[in-house]
């Protein structure tokens, strides 16, 4: 069942008695012995349903090491000849890497995997199980190594900045005290006299201050609730077949399981909160989705509290639950393994599991979308259930369609029960409460949760609580990765206005506005109550990302009128005061409709928070989507999803982050006739050898690049479509489907294309690095003929070490993207057009088109690490630029960068972009002056046609100080490429990349 | 007077007048202030610059130079006695460590270059700043340039040392300007001669005249004083400047705290001035001294911008 993609080991002899082989064999024998003889260890070979049986081969590429360990019926053994095939294989590059693994720290082991010194094959759940078993043996040593690694890293940071500089963190604090006042110029602002709400600061909201403190000090904990309740239900009722032995219709199974989950979850009201309900039972909980990527944590269950990056607590009870009960049950019942089993470990999956080329997010989630909140707010679950029932009684529904609709009803019923349970809990707590103010709040919550989500919301408090309860439900169903909130200012304004219609007194109105701010603040803090489950490898692959729950503000109404309203400014006030990474705030700016007052406020909030909101031009985003002929009112209603990507609110499954694609890999493969150098894998088509003069013209080479790129696109699309089928089988999402337009009418789940609009979106990484490399080749090799292609290629392969002059030439003398060169912009457009057209030629498993964007989350760092030197002059291992941001060396004048990015054709970038701009306020610049400058950059960029821009307003000195003295900067927000993160939680490489980037200040 | 050489056009400047601006640096100045932050702008002629920070030591230039003027053993790398300014080494240098200082540019070329940033001027209230060196050294050329900018609707600000023929200036340049920043450095004429290389008579006269016009509704003129430790920031000089401002009725002024970042520029163009090698000249202006100067102006009701 395991397919072999590398054939370089087939004909080699098999040396039996080499030292490393013997060492490995003896180690495995020792491991087997321990597990066989020590009952305390042996118990871990058992799941609640029987023994954990699997075989693992450990070998080198040329079989100089070739051994295996077999776990069967509670016994571990090391057979003389490894069984063929094993369930999993760990394949080392050579003997040296075998020995390296044994002495390396966990982080170094991760890099061995990512750098292809070691590769894993077969069922990844068992790979993680093997690491879990190894860690049981080596726990003490591992923890010691981790501690050592942490200390070394802290020491390194302190060497960077020997003296703490508290004045630098003070500068950021001081920004909060300068606040502009705004004029009420926006037609949609009816009640706020100063829309900037400059009178308010965090000190006015002690409740929010306390929540913020918890957010920054409380360590997250892995929550067993969801996996436990669901696993129990599936074990009783079956997964593939029901208790009568019939095949389950997945939608119905999921509906029943979801209802059971919601009925049995603990209804929790956080101390002091104005919003009832939690996603987990922990103050900050890590949600486990064993049906998607949850089992990735298996290997780390005992080390995760001790790791340096994003550690989570986990109780012994939870470890045992996950190990003995949950993970074994889901070993094959997750998206990735379903694909491996169903499609016999396809090539497209093997590429993904080598890290260097692309990553397909669908193995974790399909959740990048915006549910139809207005629907549940205006109809309640009762109204939606009524709509579904009307559809159900119609004739001609297939069994699958019927089950789909029934699944939706079950989910909505489950959601209703959960809110009723919250109402009872609130009433119960109100009874016990001695503080009269809190008692009244709890009584109010009891009344609210009795009304919503069952019936329509009538007030802002009811609407916000209904949204949160729905949000909790959606996250119990769907992985917390990029599921997004949408246009909350538009959808909540009617409730805000209705409330104020009933208040005539000025003073009471003031108190109400204050309450509205506090309520939205509570909502933001509720959104921080859960974290995605991140294996340590992902800390280096994606670092610092939370669940990226995007909120979108401003823009135009569906009818095309100015959408900025009172609630827009209330959300901005909350964004300014809390300055937290998630929810991820995005602002639409419509050049024709929105005011400068609004745009200036966006800049001010960005300055105070240092990194949020992300700014989008309505015009450019809508232009990029023109090709799909979406209805105008739907297009007007777009929201950012996850990071920056546009989704049409409430009616569009755009899975806008189905993948991260390393475009530079295609370039490296074109330079090497299809071979990927780091993986040493003849992966792509043979497109010609540079050394043999295969490319007569630059266009010949460009074609080779596009052939390699097309090959990678085709593979990634194939994997995505297979994973889509896996979602249909493993986890359709009836609750989400009930909140996406047309799913009810068509009686189809979103995973089956039930949404009105369908698409899948890619993020292509390294546009500036690819464009600049192509420019260097075109200019120097083909036009000026100042270097031969072979010599350039050799210099690249040599990391320019023996060619410093050539390195200087390519970086200094070729007009790069971002320098104001027409040719460079044309080259970037040529690359984006190819990507757009080739992705666009594919149709996904839901019948939608593929879209393409140019942003990078944080993967520009790791993909840079996993790439060699480039013709652009990038050195081996150095990061790419974030998103499509030009290289800092392209121009001394930031305005050249801004102009070039603005000139790119948005029609090739229909999954949006991320363009980072650094703002470095001078010591003598007034707050207003800095805001005005920022306003000018953004406004001009949009006037010139720019699409998206994100501003970081922090100096490199401050970042260095933060790296060395993280305790002074727990809330230092930085925008990576599409999402926000706390600087101090980032891995070292990402911190250094940000520092280096910041040195090229304005 | 032949056309000037232009040192550089620096876009996205936030410190040379209101809004986002492009600064055009002229080469050549009638003064030669010791602390000049752009020492490469003093001479009118083309020069050659060597920046060791950018050098990759590929030795391409050594092979290129016909005059054998380049040597790693030379304190400035370039023997400027031997150098014929043929620029062959500059053209051959891959890293840009060797570069030409100053190039002739037609008025239209400058306007075209600057106008690229016009969208940013419009949203920020910015424009172009003419600086140097001393733009008024080239009065005819400057006149054409500012007129072109006015035609383009670009806000134009002149930074000047004040040493120019007033009538010529009033006829050719003044009508097309939006704002003038003029340096008032040292009131004591002998000190001015010593440190700036010329008398301050004309400068003070010009300031009086232009300020009078400002008070009568003409364009704004803002006097600026670089605070150089031990030279211009002395108690006597500051008080003398305040006295002069009072006499002229100046309400608004600017002070520019000294920084030593110009020193390495001297090396690049092969200049060494021992007077700049004191400790004070190699440090940033003391914060307390800066505050004392500011306080003195404010005590005299002169607003510092």
pLDDT average, residue stretch A111-120: 94
- Closest residue by Cα to residue A908 from A623, A660, A634: A623
Query: How would you class A529 by CB atoms within 10 Å of its CB: exposed for 0-12, middle for 13-18, buried for 19 or more?
Result: buried
CA distances from A308 to A132, A148, A154, A984 (A): 18, 10, 10, 11
Amino acid A103: pLDDT: 83
Nearest CA in chain B to A891: B11
Amino acid B54: pLDDT: 92
Rounded Cα distance, A284 and A904, in Å: 42
Kindly report the pTM of this predicted structure: 0.96
pLDDT at A411 exceeding the cut of 50: yes
A128-137 b/e with 16+ CB inside 10 Å = b?
Answer: bbbbbbebbb
Stretches in chain B below the pLDDT threshold 50: none
Higher-confidence residue: A139 or A623?
Answer: A623
Closest residue to A812, CB basis, from B19, B94, B119: B94
- Closest residue by Cα to residue A616 from A195, A912, A903: A912
CA B186 to chain CA mean position, Å: 17
Query: Nearest C-alpha of chain A: how many angstroms from B199?
Result: 33
A310: alpha, beta or left, given left = phi > 0 and alpha = psi -120 to 50? left
Amino acid A10: pLDDT: 43
A895 touches chain B (CB under 8 A): yes
Contacts A–B by Cβ distance under 8 A:
69
Rounded Cα distance, A965 and A168, in Å: 11
The single residue listed with the structure tokens 């933060």 is A962
Closest residue to A812, CB basis, from B14, B58, B96: B96
Amino acid A106: pLDDT: 84
B residues 130-149 lying closer than 8 A (beta carbon) to A: none
Q: How confident is the model at residue A7 (pLDDT cuts 50, 70, 90)?
A: very low
Residues A684, A723 contacting (CB under 8 angstroms): no
The strand pair at B220-227 and A980-982 is best described as unpaired
- Closest residue by Cα to residue A511 from A716, A204, A842: A204
pLDDT average, residue stretch A665-693: 97
Query: Nearest C-alpha of chain A: how many angstroms from B73?
Result: 21
Closest residue to B120, CB basis, from A805, A813, A940: A940
A37 touches chain B (CB under 8 A): no
B122 touches chain A (CB under 8 A): yes
- Are B120 and A936 an interchain contact pair (Cβ–Cβ within 8 Å)? yes
pLDDT tens digits for A188-208? 999 999 999 999 999 999 999
Averaged pLDDT of chain A: 94
pLDDT at A6 exceeding the cut of 50: no
In sequence order, the 6+-apart residues with CB closer than 8 A to the CB of A953 are A606, A607, A610, A611, A918, A919, A920, A921, A930, A934
Amino acid A1000: pLDDT: 62
Rounded Cα distance, A545 and A531, in Å: 9
Residues in chain A: 1002
Residue A360 has φ and ψ, to the nearest 5°, of -100, 115
pLDDT tens digits for B4-47? 999 999 999 998 999 999 999 999 999 999 999 999 999 999 99
Please report the ipTM that was assigned to this predicted complex: 0.94
- Closest residue by Cα to residue A331 from A85, A532, A123: A123
- Helix/strand/coil (H/E/C) assignment for every residue in A954-968: CCHHHHHHHHHCHHH
Q: How confident is the model at residue A1001 (pLDDT cuts 50, 70, 90)?
A: low
| For chain A, percent of residues with pLDDT exceeding 70 | 98
pLDDT tens digits for A233-243? 999 999 999 99
Query: How would you class A46 by CB atoms within 10 Å of its CB: exposed for 0-12, middle for 13-18, buried for 19 or more?
Result: middle
* Radius of gyration, alpha carbons of chain A: 28
pLDDT tens digits for A593-616? 999 999 999 999 999 999 999 999
A residues 798-827 lying closer than 8 A (beta carbon) to B: 804-809, 812-813, 820
pLDDT tens digits for A970-989? 999 998 888 899 999 898 88
- Are A893 and B11 an interchain contact pair (Cβ–Cβ within 8 Å)? yes
Rounded Cα distance, A812 and B285, in Å: 35
B294 contacts in chain A (CB < 8 Å): none
Rounded Cα distance, A65 and A583, in Å: 49
For the ranges A236-240, A504-508, A874-878, which has the lowest average pLDDT? A504-508
pLDDT average, residue stretch A168-196: 93
CA distances from A601 to A149, A293, A580, A596, A914 (A): 43, 40, 18, 8, 21
Rounded Cα distance, A668 and A673, in Å: 9
A808 contacts in chain B (CB < 8 Å): 54, 56, 58, 94-96
B residues 67-106 lying closer than 8 A (beta carbon) to A: 94-96
For residue A736, count other CB atoms closer than 10 A to its CB: 27
- Are A892 and B10 an interchain contact pair (Cβ–Cβ within 8 Å)? yes
CA distances from A94 to A230, A335, A473 (A): 43, 32, 49
Query: Nearest C-alpha of chain B: how many angstroms from A868?
Result: 21
pLDDT average, residue stretch A79-104: 92
Q: At what angle do helices A956-964 and A124-160 cross, to 10 degrees?
A: 110
Rounded Cα distance, B244 and B237, in Å: 10
Which DSSP symbol is given to A594? S
Q: How confident is the model at residue A17 (pLDDT cuts 50, 70, 90)?
A: low
Rounded Cα distance, A622 and A604, in Å: 25
Closest residue to A804, CB basis, from B10, B12, B56: B56
pLDDT tens digits for A291-329? 999 999 999 999 999 998 999 999 999 999 999 999 999
Token couple for B163? 């040493």
- Are A922 and B15 an interchain contact pair (Cβ–Cβ within 8 Å)? yes
Residue of A167, A603, A779, A805 to mutate for B, most B C-beta atoms under 10 A: A805
- Are A894 and B12 an interchain contact pair (Cβ–Cβ within 8 Å)? yes
How many Cα atoms within 13 Å fall on the side-chain side of residue A136?
A: 21
Residues A946, A615 contacting (CB under 8 angstroms): no
Sign of the Cα torsion B105, B106, B110, B115 reads negative
A925 contacts in chain B (CB < 8 Å): 14
Q: At what angle do helices A767-776 and A663-671 cross, to 10 degrees?
A: 30
The strand pair at B21-27 and B5-13 is best described as antiparallel
Rounded Cα distance, A179 and A164, in Å: 28
Nearest CA in chain A to B117: A895
A500: alpha, beta or left, given left = phi > 0 and alpha = psi -120 to 50? alpha
Q: At what angle do helices A206-217 and A566-578 cross, to 10 degrees?
A: 50
A residues 897-936 lying closer than 8 A (beta carbon) to B: 899, 922, 925, 932-933, 935-936
A residues 959-998 lying closer than 8 A (beta carbon) to B: none
pLDDT average, residue stretch A652-666: 97
Residue A551 has φ and ψ, to the nearest 5°, of -110, 140
Closest residue to B124, CB basis, from A807, A809, A932: A932
pLDDT average, residue stretch A509-534: 97
- Are A936 and B117 an interchain contact pair (Cβ–Cβ within 8 Å)? no
For the ranges A61-65, A349-353, A418-422, which has the lowest average pLDDT? A61-65
- Closest residue by Cα to residue A407 from A750, A756, A759: A750
Amino acid A331: pLDDT: 96
The single residue listed with the structure tokens 């009244």 is A440
pLDDT tens digits for A571-596? 999 999 999 999 999 999 999 999 99
The single residue listed with the structure tokens 């987990």 is A280
Residue of B24, B120, B285 to mutate for A, most A C-beta atoms under 10 A: B120
Token couple for A585? 């705030």
Q: How confident is the model at residue A873 (pLDDT cuts 50, 70, 90)?
A: very high
Closest residue to A809, CB basis, from B94, B116, B117: B94
Residues A681, A866 contacting (CB under 8 angstroms): no
B residues 54-73 lying closer than 8 A (beta carbon) to A: 54, 56-58, 60
Closest residue to A895, CB basis, from B54, B57, B120: B120
Residues A939, A150 contacting (CB under 8 angstroms): no
pLDDT average, residue stretch A5-26: 64
A894 contacts in chain B (CB < 8 Å): 11-12
The single residue listed with the structure tokens 């050249």 is A896
Amino acid A111: pLDDT: 93
Cis peptide before A85 (omega within 30 of 0): yes
Dump the DSSP string for A704-771.
Answer: HHHHHHHHHHHHHHHHHHHHHHHHHHH---HHHHHTSTTTTTTT--GGGT-SSEEEEEEEEE-HHHHH
Residues A195, A186 contacting (CB under 8 angstroms): yes
Q: At what angle do helices A373-392 and A399-432 cross, to 10 degrees?
A: 130
């Amino acid at each position: 069942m395991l397919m072999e993609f590398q054939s370089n080991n087939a004909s080699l002899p098999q040396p039996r008695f080499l030292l490393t082989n013997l060492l490995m064999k003896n180690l495995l024998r020792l491991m087997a012995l321990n597990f066989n003889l020590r009952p305390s260890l042996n118990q871990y070979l058992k799941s609640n349903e029987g023994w954990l049986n699997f075989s693992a081969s450990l070998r080198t590429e040329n079989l100089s090491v070739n051994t295996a360990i077999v776990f069967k019926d509670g016994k571990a053994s090391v057979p003389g000849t490894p069984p063929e095939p094993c369930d999993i294989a760990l394949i080392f590059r050579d003997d040296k890497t075998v020995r390296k693994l044994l002495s390396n720290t966990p982080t170094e082991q991760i890099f061995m995997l990512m750098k292809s010194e070691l590769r894993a094959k077969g069922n990844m759940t068992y790979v993680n199980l093997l690491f879990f078993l190894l860690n049981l043996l080596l726990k003490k040593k591992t923890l010691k190594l981790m501690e050592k690694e942490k200390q070394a890293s802290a020491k390194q940071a302190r060497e960077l900045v020997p003296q703490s500089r508290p004045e630098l963190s003070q500068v950021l604090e001081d920004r909060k005290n300068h606040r502009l006042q705004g004029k009420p110029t926006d037609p949609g602002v009816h009640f706020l006299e100063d829309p900037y709400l400059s009178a308010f600061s965090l000190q006015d909201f002690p409740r929010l201050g306390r929540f913020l403190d918890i957010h920054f000090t409380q360590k997250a904990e892995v929550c067993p609730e969801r996996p436990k309740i669901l696993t129990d239900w599936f074990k009783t009722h079956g997964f593939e077949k029901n208790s009568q032995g019939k095949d389950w219709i997945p939608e119905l199974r999921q509906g029943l399981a979801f209802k059971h989950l919601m009925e049995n979850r603990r209804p929790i009201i956080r101390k002091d909160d104005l919003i009832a309900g939690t996603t987990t039972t922990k103050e900050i909980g890590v949600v486990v989705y064993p049906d998607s990527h949850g089992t990735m944590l298996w290997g780390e269950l005992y080390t995760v509290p001790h790791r340096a990056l994003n550690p989570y607590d986990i109780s012994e009870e939870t470890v045992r639950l996950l190990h003995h009960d949950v993970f074994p049950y889901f070993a094959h019942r997750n998206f990735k393994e379903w694909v491996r089993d169903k499609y016999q470990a396809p090539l497209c999956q093997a590429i993904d599991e080598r890290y260097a080329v692309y990553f397909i997010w669908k193995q974790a989630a399909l959740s990048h979308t915006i549910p139809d909140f207005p629907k549940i707010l205006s109809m309640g679950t009762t109204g939606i259930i009524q709509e579904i029932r009307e559809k159900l009684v119609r004739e001609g529904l297939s069994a699958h369609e019927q089950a789909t609709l029934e699944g939706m009803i079950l989910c909505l019923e489950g959601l209703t029960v959960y809110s009723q349970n919250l109402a009872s809990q609130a009433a119960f707590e109100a009874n016990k409460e001695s503080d009269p103010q809190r008692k009244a709040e709890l009584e109010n919550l009891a009344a609210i949760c009795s009304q919503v989500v069952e019936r329509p919301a009538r007030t802002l408090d009811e609407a916000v609580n209904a949204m949160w309860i729905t949000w909790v439900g959606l996250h119990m169903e769907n992985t917390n990765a990029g599921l997004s909130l949408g246009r909350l200012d538009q959808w909540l304004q009617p409730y805000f206005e209705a409330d104020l219609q009933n208040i005539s007194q000025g003073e009471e109105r003031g108190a109400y506005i204050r309450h509205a701010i506090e309520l939205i603040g509570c909502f933001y803090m509720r959104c921080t109550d859960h974290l995605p489950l991140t294996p340590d490898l992902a800390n280096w692959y994606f670092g610092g990302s939370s669940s990226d729950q995007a909120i979108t503000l401003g823009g135009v109404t569906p009818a095309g009128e100015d959408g900025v309203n009172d609630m827009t400014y209330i959300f901005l006030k909350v964004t300014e005061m809390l300055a937290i990474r998630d929810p991820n705030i995005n602002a639409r700016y419509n050049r024709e409709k929105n005011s400068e007052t609004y745009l200036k406020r966006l800049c001010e909030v960005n300055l105070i928070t240092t990194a949020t909101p992300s700014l989008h031009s309505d015009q450019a985003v809508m232009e990029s989507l023109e090709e799909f002929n979406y209805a105008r009112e739907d297009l007007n209603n777009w929201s950012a999803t996850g990071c920056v990507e546009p989704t049409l609110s409430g009616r569009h499954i755009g899975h806008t982050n189905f993948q991260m694609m390393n475009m530079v890999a295609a370039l490296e493969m074109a330079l090497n006739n299809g071979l990927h150098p780091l993986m040493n894998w003849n992966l792509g088509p043979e497109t010609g050898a540079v050394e043999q003069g295969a490319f007569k013209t630059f266009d010949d080479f460009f074609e080779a690049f596009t052939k390699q790129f097309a090959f990678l696109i085709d593979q990634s699309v194939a994997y995505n479509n297979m994973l889509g089928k896996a979602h249909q089988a493993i986890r359709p999402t009836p609750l989400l489907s009930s909140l996406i337009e047309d799913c009810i009418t068509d009686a189809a789940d979103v995973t089956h294309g039930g949404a009105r609009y369908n698409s899948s979106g890619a993020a292509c990484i390294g546009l500036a690095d690819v464009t600049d490399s192509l420019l260097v080749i075109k200019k120097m090799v083909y036009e000026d003929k100042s270097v031969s292609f072979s010599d350039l290629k050799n210099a690249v392969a040599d990391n320019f070490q023996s060619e410093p002059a050539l390195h200087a030439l390519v970086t200094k003398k070729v007009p790069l993207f971002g320098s104001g060169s027409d040719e460079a912009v044309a080259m970037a457009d040529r690359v984006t057009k190819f990507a757009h057209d080739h992705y666009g030629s594919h149709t996904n498993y839901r019948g939608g088109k593929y879209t393409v964007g140019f942003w990078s989350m944080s993967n520009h760092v790791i993909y840079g690490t996993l790439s060699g030197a480039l013709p652009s002059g990038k050195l081996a291992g150095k990061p790419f630029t974030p998103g499509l941001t030009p290289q800092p060396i392209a121009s001394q004048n930031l305005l050249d960068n801004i102009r070039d990015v603005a000139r790119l054709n948005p029609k090739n970038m229909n999954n949006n972009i991320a363009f980072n701009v650094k703002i470095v306020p001078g010591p003598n610049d007034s707050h207003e002056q800095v805001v005005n400058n920022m306003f000018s950059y953004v406004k001009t960029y949009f006037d010139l046609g720019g699409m998206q821009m994100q501003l970081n307003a922090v100096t490199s000195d401050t970042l260095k100080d933060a790296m060395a003295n993280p305790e002074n900067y727990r809330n230092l927000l930085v925008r990576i490429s599409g999402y926000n993160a706390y600087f101090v939680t980032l891995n070292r490489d990402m911190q250094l990349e940000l520092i280096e980037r910041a040195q090229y200040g304005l | 007077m032949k056309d000037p050489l232009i040192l550089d056009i620096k876009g996205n400047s936030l410190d040379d007048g209101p809004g986002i601006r492009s600064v055009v640096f002229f080469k050549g100045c009638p003064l030669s202030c010791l602390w000049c932050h752009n020492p490469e702008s003093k001479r009118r002629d083309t020069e050659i610059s060597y920046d060791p920070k950018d050098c990759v030591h590929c030795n391409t230039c050594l092979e290129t130079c016909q005059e054998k003027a380049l040597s790693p053993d030379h304190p400035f790398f370039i023997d400027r006695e031997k150098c014929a300014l043929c620029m062959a080494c500059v053209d051959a240098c891959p890293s840009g460590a060797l570069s030409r200082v100053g190039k002739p540019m037609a008025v239209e070329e400058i306007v075209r270059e600057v106008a690229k940033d016009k969208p940013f001027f419009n949203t920020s209230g910015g424009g172009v700043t003419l600086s140097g060196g001393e733009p008024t050294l080239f009065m005819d050329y400057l006149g054409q340039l500012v007129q072109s900018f006015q035609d383009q609707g670009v806000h134009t600000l002149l930074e000047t040392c004040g040493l120019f023929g007033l009538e010529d200036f009033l006829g050719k340049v003044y009508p097309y300007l939006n704002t003038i920043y003029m340096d008032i450095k040292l009131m004591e004429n002998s000190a001015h001669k010593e440190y700036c290389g010329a008398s301050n008579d004309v400068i003070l006269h010009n300031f009086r005249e232009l300020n009078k016009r400002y008070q009568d509704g003409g364009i704004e003129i803002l006097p600026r004083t670089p605070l150089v430790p031990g030279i211009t920031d002395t108690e006597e000089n500051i008080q003398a400047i305040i006295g002069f401002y009072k006499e002229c009725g100046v309400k608004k002024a600017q002070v520019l705290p000294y920084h030593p970042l110009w020193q390495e520029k001297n090396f690049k163009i092969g200049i060494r001035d021992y007077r700049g090698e004191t400790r004070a000249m190699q440090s940033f202006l003391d914060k307390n001294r800066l505050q004392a100067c500011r306080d003195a102006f404010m005590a005299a009701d002169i607003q510092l911008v």
